[in-house]
Structure 1
């Protein structure tokens, strides 16, 4: 006999005998007639009856405990279906524009759910297929420099003035230039998504931009050019059309965000800057995007 079942049986038999003793204390006359006033019971028929009840109760309890995980899964499948679905492998993909993209002034759009097939590794016969979680546009541009200014003297030396009347104590400057032939101003560029890589600096940059940023501005490359204010930076991955995991049925949106964050924290290390087109038109070789901070961030 299964040892687990024997343990259930012994627990139930001990419990029944304990109840019999309590019953004998409360109703001594009735207990004496049923031979329940002593343990073990001197009447073999009553003793076998107690054994049989313990046997049936042990089987019932064992089956209920065995079904507990299935019951919990069924309840969770109704209340929060995304919790019990398996989590697939996730990764950050780096897409580099080819020669054809270099001449595309409107950029090259990579649609959401685009399939990416991995290269065949030595000794393996199966390729991995991934799908993109958000739409992205490839532009013939690249980051040429990143600078951080931690005091007002550094801001003055770089020609960084208050943006739309909002000043600051520090600033982050990202300089971008065109990689192909032609002017940067030819591109129909209005929005950019920046991804901050690295486990140490990325969270600090993210916290600084969304926790201490007083204004965002852009200008043609060169400290003598004026800064044009831009809309506030946006988080990426929050909306439904940028969800990492498909939703099986309507649920609370916060659960999805928590699940995706613990699955892949770096998925939220994006910052979206929009409203660039008026500034881009005036650019020849490069553009500077400046995040003004209300306070210095020494960790950067």
Structure 2
């Protein structure tokens, strides 16, 4: 597709040539007459074609000059904080439904951070969307059967515990094992809750749990005398702010606060997680199949007292992100080309988009002919003496141009995406001289716009966990 700026520059240059030709004809009419220039018109078609060709070349030079302005800042941003330029991947909250009858759950089944899962293919889909978990998650054979917000003391009447003096309200959660085993048979020490609901309900619950909590009371479901455990308010902590819970990758040179801002404005629900820690002693002392957790609060809320129920909390949840590592198809190098198009998969170019370049390696003839390339503006010694250490690359991103077919029929979604190009240079930013034949890249990729067409809530599951385990289904909640 023709860049509209090229037409604008071409028109400006051609107009300038005609005006200058008119001025030249006034001052030197005899010479101008030989060229067919009379005022602002040119009678000679050959001279007219020369003027148009020169205007086209001058317009292209103008575009090249314009392209140089953002080049340095773009390359520098790729090093300092590449996520400002990288496409924002799809994010979601998923809930894993464990096989509650599996005895292996008694010890807790861990789903590691970064565990891959793939979407179920739709009718006309050829590529499954690949997501990775952001939180480490432990599955237990328990369910949340009741949740209630209260502001009267009757809910905790009969509990022989010395409660905090500021406790004026509370949030009661009732848990139950699903396999009939008592809680003392489980190794449960911490529990993560995902807050759900319409409008600002999750935010209000979040503020109560982490802002006005005075303590956490844990006791068996039958409330026997002397069998309670009072935990401090620090037992409640937010999840999603630590670096080990990050959705988007970031380097050591990047300020983590920028990542948090980007994740918040892109997907605020990923922070609606609260973890309850220090449950081990209370769980080990509970020989029943039900366990009560009462969060004592210093302030009540009439709306929560009327509307809050168990549907506002979800167990076995984690944020996931459509971001995965992939080896790109090898790029064949040639001596007359300085920039190359990076394609994760040539057979399905529309199903993948480059988020970040992890590593670049050149390959020559023989197994030992390898050359590693580094980002040009990385924190390396550019004055190194060896030629091997003078190999660098630069990345350039451009908005993707629609094909002729897409311009006629329209794109498959509203998201077009970007394309990535790589250039090999030396320490002086000149073209890198080499005898390499191919270029291999390790990339962080997304599935471009494929998540927009995922068939969610249709079949038995929305995602399939690669590692398997005692998981019946994985559903997308947000």
TM bucket, shorter chain? 0.7 to 0.9
- Report what 2:144 is aligned to: 143
Distance 1:91 1:218, change over 3 A: same
- Report what 1:185 is aligned to: 184
Matched, 1:277 2:280: yes
Q: Distance in 2 between matches of 1:11 and 1:269?
A: 60
C-alpha RMSD of the superposition: 3.4
Distance apart, 1:96 and its partner CA: 1.6
- Report what 1:196 is aligned to: 195
Structure 1 runs not aligned, ≥5 long: 14-39, 46-54
Distance 1:157 1:126, change over 3 A: same
Q: What's the TM-score once normalised by structure 2's chain length?
A: 0.49
Distance apart, 1:255 and its partner CA: 0.7
Q: Distance in 2 between matches of 1:12 and 1:67?
A: 24
Instruction: Report 1:22-61 matches (<5 A).
Output: 44=27
CA deviations on 1:221-272 (whole Å, 9 max, x unpaired) are: 1345554222411111111111111224531010111111122211111111
- Report what 1:152 is aligned to: 152
- Report what 2:260 is aligned to: 257
The structure 1 residue matched to 2:296, chosen from 284, 292, 298, is 292
Aligned residues: 266
- Report what 1:65 is aligned to: 66
Instruction: Report 1:211-290 matches (<5 A).
Output: 211-223=211-223, 225=225, 227-231=228-232, 232=234, 233-283=236-286, 284-290=288-294
Distance 1:61 1:161, change over 3 A: farther
Higher helix proportion (structure 1 or 2): 1
Is the Cα–Cα contact under 8 Å of residues 8 and 62 in structure 1 kept in the other structure?
no
**Partner-residue secondary structure (3-state), 1:189:** coil
Q: Distance in 2 between matches of 1:299 and 1:57?
A: 68
Distance 1:299 1:63, change over 3 A: farther
Distance 1:166 1:85, change over 3 A: farther
Instruction: Report 1:46-125 matches (<5 A).
Output: 63-99=64-100, 101-125=102-126
Distance 1:12 1:66, change over 3 A: farther
Q: Distance in 1 between matches of 2:65 and 2:214?
A: 59
Is the Cα–Cα contact under 8 Å of residues 169 and 293 in structure 1 kept in the other structure?
yes
Q: Distance in 1 between matches of 2:62 and 2:298?
A: 63
Q: What's the TM-score once normalised by structure 1's chain length?
A: 0.75
Distance apart, 1:63 and its partner CA: 3.9
Q: Distance in 1 between matches of 2:170 and 2:160?
A: 8
Higher strand proportion (structure 1 or 2): 2
CA deviations on 1:56-80 (whole Å, 9 max, x unpaired) are: 9998765443333434422322332
Distance apart, 1:107 and its partner CA: 0.7
Q: Distance in 2 between matches of 1:11 and 1:266?
A: 55
- Report what 1:49 is aligned to: none
Distance 1:71 1:181, change over 3 A: same
**Partner-residue secondary structure (3-state), 1:96:** strand
Is the Cα–Cα contact under 8 Å of residues 162 and 168 in structure 1 kept in the other structure?
no
Is the Cα–Cα contact under 8 Å of residues 10 and 58 in structure 2 kept in the other structure?
no
- Report what 2:169 is aligned to: 170
Q: Distance in 1 between matches of 2:77 and 2:285?
A: 55
Q: Distance in 2 between matches of 1:59 and 1:159?
A: 81
Distance apart, 1:137 and its partner CA: 0.4
Distance apart, 1:194 and its partner CA: 0.7
Higher relative contact order (Cα pairs below 8 Å, separated by 6+ residues) = 2
- Report what 2:131 is aligned to: 130
Is the Cα–Cα contact under 8 Å of residues 100 and 178 in structure 2 kept in the other structure?
no
Distance 1:3 1:239, change over 3 A: same
Structure 2 runs not aligned, ≥5 long: 18-22, 29-54, 305-478
